[in-house]
A and B are shown apart, each in its own frame.
Chain A
Amino acid sequence: MATVGLESKTFEKFADVVGHDDDLNYLNHDHSVLSWLFTLDHKRIGLLYLVTITLMFLLGGALAGAIRLELLTPKGDFLTADTYNKAFTAHGIIMLFFFLIPSIPAVLGNFLVPLMIGAKDVAFPRLNLFSYYLYFAGSVIALTALLLGGVDTGWTFYTPFSSTYSNSYVIVMAVGLFVVGFSSILTGLNFIITVHRMRCPGLTWFRLPLFIWGIYATSVVQLLGTPVIAVTLGLLGVERTLGVGIFDPRLGGDPILFQHLFWFYSHPAVYIMILPSLGVTSEVIATFSRKNVFGYHIIAFSSIAIAVFGFIVWAHHMFTTGISPYAAMVFSLLTFSVAIPSGIKVFSWLATMYGGSISFGTPMIYAFGFLGLFTIGGMTGLFLSTLGTDIHLHDTYFIVAHFHYIMVGGAIMGYMAAIHYWWPKMTGRLYSEFWGKLSAGITFIGFNFTFFPQFILGYLGMPRRYYEYPDEFQVLNVFSTAGATILAVGYLMPLVYMPYSFFFGEKANSNPYGGSTLEWTNTTSPPSPHNFEKTPVVTEEPYHYHAKEAAVVSH
């Protein structure tokens, strides 16, 4: 089959195209600035998040550039040791809490959850806007902490350094994270209730698109996990300001307790980052293979399983801290179990593509990137779950490579796939497939150049979080920095061609890729302010390409 998008309109004949070009839609029905800032429309709130997190991504990316530049040479010649600490701390905090955690849930979840379940909006539109402003306030507080002089504890805030010794703006930053945490909790709550109570007639749980299952599982983790980190940072603040002994051994506390509490949230948080991408991948692979998703039920359940297992593996971050060896064995075993549902998903996607009529649109190329990189990231996680090898690899560049393969290679690739896949729906325009595919390719190549050498560096013993290193590590570090430059080009390109297409791109019809879920089949591109002309009624499973295409052929 031919490629999709600009070059061909092959898919049009499969799609029941709805609406007309010049209908009033959610973008053009009111142009005033206030109508954006005080909007209760889930679609506009999604776009507010999109703009804000993109700015945060640029800031986090600039910091990454500074880190890679410093590591180009073995000597510390670009940043001082202290600035280097602050740079990687700020990079981690911004990328995780202000970009990756809100990325797919807040931007695409907001935009798509009501559209995919046939609802007019989320359950609590005002709460939704409030969540956005909490996110905004949290960002302002965090940026204030950076402007005042930054934080040097690492994104992990380990005690007793963070509670007793660090002279940086730990409390300001903790307040920022506390606030942004509540944004995350309220968004999760909103989505859970929306999915439970606002599905359109006929949309049973097992007719939900897999993206909704992914977002639902994510929301549960957000709701259950985030309060723990909020309380933990609160305790850190209490100890720092009032000297109450919680983590400081001199005051009768236990520094390892901080790590327990921190990772009790932060391991599940890594699943907050990846679960939405898993959902996106299911959608993209189904649409671009024109096949029913293989093992729909088991993919749905494995999202829930990941959310549950995610909560019982956290101490694998603490194998070398002196926790009980018996507990370490239990956590090692439990960590291995979390690989099972991830494996199930990967095999199901392969089986979905098998025998499918695959086309290589930009979202699919990104999804391919996701598949490979997520698999490498997950498999190297197993090296780290093994008690013996972890002693060697812990706190080296191997860890850095592992989680970047998951979070950048996996989660961000998934985010890029999602943005490209739903862009015509969000904006009513088609971006250039040529530039899209080029950026996907450049990102993939740049990514591997940046992070693969870090596996080797870590294995050879280069520790993370130092601004100098022995001369023999330089070659691989030069590779990594050069790769980061390529990666940056890959990320900057969409920042040009996507906005360009927003103003000058070819108009998209309601279903340019031939998707089969409600947002494609029952709304215009871009959707009208109230989404659906009449409430849809669902009568079949979400990915029924066979039946549909048979019908087209027999016409």
Chain B
Amino acid sequence: MATTEHSTHQPAALSLYLLTFGMLMFLTLLTIFAGFQNFGMWSTPIALGIAAVKAALVVVIFMHGYSSSPLTWIIILASMFFLTIMLGLMLSDYMSRGWAM
């Protein structure tokens, strides 16, 4: 978007991008490592947790979330809320399937 009132689109230093890239690669390796461990019921939450951290890095740094206007943050948070609706209502089916009627 072309507005500049709220945002200061100073391109971040190259080193920051490289560092982020390194972090993402590290977290990917961590996911693979975790995939071979047996955490029981925690396996899925751990895998999703790592994925969430990676997604946050992408949004905040690669997609310039850190220097964006409040309006952009409203959009970011609204889309996360939207995802919660999708997953939440879907889980309402999966989690209550076993309940006796």
**A314-B93 Cα distance, complex, nearest whole Å:** 12
A315 within 8 A of B: yes
> B55 to nearest A CB, angstroms?
14
B85 close to A224 (CB less than 8 A): no
Interface residues on A, range: 10 to 19
B66 within 8 A of A: no
Residues of the B chain whose Cβ atoms lie less than 8 Å from the Cβ of A256: 93
A334's nearest neighbour on chain B, judged by CB, is B89
Residues of the A chain whose Cβ atoms lie less than 8 Å from the Cβ of B74: none
A311 close to B85 (CB less than 8 A): yes
* Contact of B92 (CB < 8 Å), options: A228, A264, A324: A324
Residues of the B chain whose Cβ atoms lie less than 8 Å from the Cβ of A312: 85, 89
A326 within 8 A of B: yes
B1 close to A315 (CB less than 8 A): no
**A264-B89 Cα distance, complex, nearest whole Å:** 10
B6 within 8 A of A: no
Contact A228-B86, Cβ < 8 Å, known A323-B93, A324-B92: yes
Most buried by A among B93, B95, B96, B99: B93
B17 within 8 A of A: no
B1 close to A327 (CB less than 8 A): no
Contact A324-B85, Cβ < 8 Å, known A193-B1, A224-B79, A330-B92: no
B97 close to A323 (CB less than 8 A): yes
A322's nearest neighbour on chain B, judged by CB, is B97
A325 close to B101 (CB less than 8 A): yes
Contact A324-B79, Cβ < 8 Å, known A193-B1, A264-B86, A312-B85: no
> B29 to nearest A CB, angstroms?
21
**A436-B19 Cα distance, complex, nearest whole Å:** 66
**A311-B89 Cα distance, complex, nearest whole Å:** 10
- The secondary-structure label for the interface of chain B is helix
**A326-B90 Cα distance, complex, nearest whole Å:** 12
Considering only residues 308-325 of chain A, those with a C-beta below 8 Å from chain B are 311-312, 314-315, 323-325
A326 close to B89 (CB less than 8 A): no
B99 close to A324 (CB less than 8 A): yes
B69-101 interface bits toward A, Cβ cutoff 8 Å, 1 = contact, 0 = none: 000000000010010011001101111110101
16 additional A-B residue pairs with CB within 8 Å, beyond A256-B93, A311-B82: A224-B82, A260-B90, A260-B93, A264-B86, A264-B90, A312-B85, A315-B89, A323-B93, A323-B97, A324-B93, A324-B97, A325-B101, A326-B92, A326-B96, A327-B89, A327-B93
| Cross-chain pairs A/B with CB under 8 angstroms, 20 sampled | A224-B79, A224-B82, A256-B93, A260-B93, A264-B86, A311-B86, A312-B85, A314-B89, A315-B89, A315-B93, A323-B93, A323-B97, A324-B92, A324-B93, A324-B97, A325-B101, A326-B99, A327-B92, A327-B93, A327-B96
